[in-house]
Amino acid sequence: MSVASSRLVAIIARRPVAATFWIALLLALPIVFFLRNRPKPLPVFATLPPWQLTDQAARPFGSAQLRGHPYVANFMFTSCPTICPTLSRHMARVQQRTASLGDRLHLVSISVDPAVDTPERLAEYGRRYGYDPRRWHFVTGEATALQTIAADGFRVALGQIPTAGQQRPHDFNILHSANLMLVDGEGRLRGLYRADDDGLTELVREASALADR
């Protein structure tokens, strides 16, 4: 037995209560550290109603196909001149940063302009951003279906805003959410994230945690 070990045994023999306390404290420290640094459960903001739209391949796509899979969602339209390109670039970065998750995490971009955004146009738009159609789905549908999923599911508003100097019926912008949204495999809205670097980092971390469960 080493000198240090002999001294420790002697201390324990002389002061067993104090020694037991300090040993218990040392053993507990890793547990306390783990509990303090354990990720907090994500809030549940809403439960989405069942929904079905049409994807970029003209196939029905919705909550039934996504059951059991968390996904990142955003609202957009292909002719959007403002926030949509930024949102789509961030979705492309999410796709890239979570590539190792495969189909355990999906991405869904919901077009709010069904009159213009045909499946073919959505597919072309997706290719512009390097989408993987196995994971990233571009969908749209009837206006009533879009309003339902937006208002009753994601708790966001949709609407048309005429552009300056409007000359044609279709000269308008469409009001929609500028956030990226995280939905779990049970169809519950778990997070809203800004379209910036900090928001993207937080989204990737929390989406990966959901996909790994």
3-state secondary structure of 138: strand
- DSSP alpha helix (H) spans, 84-118: 84-97
CB atoms within 10 A of CB 152: 13
Percent of the chain with pLDDT over 70: 74
Write down all domains in the chain, each with its CATH number in brackets.
3-37 (no CATH), 46-211 (3.40.30.10)
56-87 residue pLDDT tens: 999 999 999 999 999 999 999 999 888 999 99
Tokens 């552009």 label which residue? 163
State the chain's mean pLDDT as an integer: 84
What average pLDDT score do residues 4-28 get?
Answer: 60
Mean pLDDT, range 96-112, rounded to an integer: 97
**Token pair recorded at residue 180:** 């990226």
| H helix or E strand, kind and range, residue 148 | helix 143-148
Query: Within 13 Å of residue 80, how many CA atoms lie on the same side as its CB?
Result: 25
Closest to 135 measured CA to CA, from 170, 82, 94: 94
pTM (predicted TM-score): 0.77
Is the per-residue pLDDT at 184 higher than 60?
A: yes
Judged against a pLDDT cut of 70, whether residue 44 lies above it is answered with yes
| pLDDT band, residue 6 (cuts 50/70/90) | low
How sure is the predictor about 167, in pLDDT bands with cuts at 50, 70 and 90? very low
